[in-house]
Structure 1
């Protein structure tokens, strides 16, 4: 009996070893994907992958959540086959370098300015985002406010810096301005701890607020077209073969299943965390071009 059991074990081991031989095609494909943290932290990408795998069970996507700048840098190094980002000016740079191609806008939402409920800088009274940042700067200089920046070359960080530039202000080096070099969730938690202001995408904010992780932060300025946040997906030019084909299929899935994006988060948060690009493609493309050139 022991001999029979041993034979079965050896046979199973041999089968597994054969399947793992170099060049042996098991039919499964792993796709390396670098992504902005907001799409990952909110759970949207994992949800879309689960739906995608219902019709593509042999495809597995390995998400690497980093800031948009880092996502694109890794793509340039050949460490990704598909990229999800929201930083038009950086995207344009990597398109021109020939790193990424076949870009498609698949979703959008808005950046928001959040801070403590007592709002010492008076951001609630701001007429636009530039005015809000000027108020924060003045309050910071007066010792009444702090601002936490992602400081990680992410899409949100790039947007924040562009607002400071439009305000003709430079907060770098100020004691009240803290650069944490972290993702959106960690930045929001730090701002919550310090009673500080920060710029966030609305999706990550709503998730952390619902989860009780940022009880001291409130939305103080929001829903302005000047703070629109556009998400795009790109294929990495150097990626080929089976991984490339699977990446193309997932990108196509995103733009042909926009109802999944529209409904995501509504039941739990009372509103969608992202809006589908479908029906707004031309307008979003125009805005993307303006942001890319700014």
Structure 2
């Protein structure tokens, strides 16, 4: 019996020795580490809740006169359940609507002026959307001889118009087209025209094209609006291709800090949508079937 009890005592000591050693070193065994929680990525298409379904889009007359907005906007409206109210005015007036907080988003074509709004905090970031070009159109008789003597030199063309005192209809509305036109009179050496042959219409592009046709006058227009109207007017392209006539369009959301009335959630959707590859493809397709060439060339980055 003693032998058995001794053996049992030795066995118990051997079994409890690791526990005594662990406690005697003054530290407790480290608990098992739990795996760190995995953070869910934010959905790319997640927007702020849309409580106001009306979007005010301030834009230039060329996007409306050309038919582009009628072509693409119904898709946007249906996709997001938004009713877009288009205010088509000269670019200067469209930009002023942004400054005054009278629009939610702006689509215009006077890049330097647009960037001023961003710098001043009136709008958020500006993005390139698409481009086309300006052209000079005039009566088929081309009395100032632009198509023969200055087919691709806009400064020479403007000088010929002034030299021959050929009628010219200006938009005269502080639009992107008007701003470009005024800069070209200066660069051509003519300065600011004020003679009787120079008519300031104070109208949008479509109306100016009609006036120029009726008056057998020259005017500068974006190519898209002219192509959309060329079958209804007696005007030909007499000057094109000068790199100065590049016409870039941009989009920007109005700064929501201007007030609670600014519908930034809808504006954000519009900006993302018009820059998306699918919409850029739509823009590239517009005009090809009817005119044989696109009216705008998408270039969103």
Range of TM-score over shorter length: 0.7 to 0.9
Q: Which moved more, 1:230-239 or 1:61-70?
A: 230-239
Picking from 230, 250, 255, the partner of 1:232 is: 250
How does the TM-score come out when normalised to structure 1? 0.80
Listed one character per residue, the Cα deviations across residues 250-282 of structure 1 (whole Å, up to 9, x for unaligned) are: 11111112100000011111111111114xx5x
- Checking the alignment, whether the CA contact within 8 Å between 1:81 and 1:239 is kept in structure 2 is no
* Runs of 4+ that moved beyond 3 A: 25-28, 239-242
Report the equivalent of 2:224.
203
CA drift at 1:28: 5.3
Distance 1:105 1:185 in 2: 24
- Checking the alignment, whether the CA contact within 8 Å between 2:131 and 2:247 is kept in structure 1 is yes
Listed one character per residue, the Cα deviations across residues 149-181 of structure 1 (whole Å, up to 9, x for unaligned) are: 000000000010111111121243211000000
CA drift at 1:137: 0.7
When residues 226 and 47 of structure 1 are mapped into structure 2, their CA distance, relative to the original with a 3 A threshold, is same
Residues 1:42 and 2:42 are matched in the alignment? no
When residues 177 and 31 of structure 1 are mapped into structure 2, their CA distance, relative to the original with a 3 A threshold, is same
Picking from 83, 86, 99, the partner of 1:76 is: 99
Report the equivalent of 2:160.
135
CA drift at 1:226: 1.5
Provide the secondary structure at the position in 2 that maps to 1:136.
Answer: helix
Equivalenced residue count is 247
CA drift at 1:49: 1.3
- Checking the alignment, whether the CA contact within 8 Å between 2:159 and 2:189 is kept in structure 1 is no
Picking from 254, 274, 278, the partner of 2:296 is: 274
- Checking the alignment, whether the CA contact within 8 Å between 2:173 and 2:202 is kept in structure 1 is yes
Ranges in structure 2 where 5+ consecutive residues have no aligned partner: 1-48
Residues 1:190 and 2:211 are matched in the alignment? yes
How does the TM-score come out when normalised to structure 2? 0.78
Listed one character per residue, the Cα deviations across residues 106-149 of structure 1 (whole Å, up to 9, x for unaligned) are: 11000000001111111112151101100111010xxxx10000
CA drift at 1:92: 2.6
Report the equivalent of 1:118.
141
- Checking the alignment, whether the CA contact within 8 Å between 1:31 and 1:59 is kept in structure 2 is yes
- Checking the alignment, whether the CA contact within 8 Å between 2:115 and 2:126 is kept in structure 1 is no
- Checking the alignment, whether the CA contact within 8 Å between 2:114 and 2:126 is kept in structure 1 is no
- Checking the alignment, whether the CA contact within 8 Å between 1:263 and 1:272 is kept in structure 2 is yes
Specify the structure having the higher radius of gyration (Cα). 2
Distance 1:29 1:150 in 2: 34
- Checking the alignment, whether the CA contact within 8 Å between 2:101 and 2:262 is kept in structure 1 is no
Report the equivalent of 1:96.
119
When residues 78 and 196 of structure 1 are mapped into structure 2, their CA distance, relative to the original with a 3 A threshold, is same
Distance 1:267 1:148 in 2: 30
When residues 242 and 138 of structure 1 are mapped into structure 2, their CA distance, relative to the original with a 3 A threshold, is closer
CA drift at 1:220: 0.7
Provide the secondary structure at the position in 2 that maps to 1:169.
Answer: coil
- Checking the alignment, whether the CA contact within 8 Å between 2:130 and 2:299 is kept in structure 1 is yes
- Checking the alignment, whether the CA contact within 8 Å between 2:205 and 2:221 is kept in structure 1 is yes
Report the equivalent of 1:246.
266
Distance 1:98 1:36 in 2: 21
CA drift at 1:95: 2.2
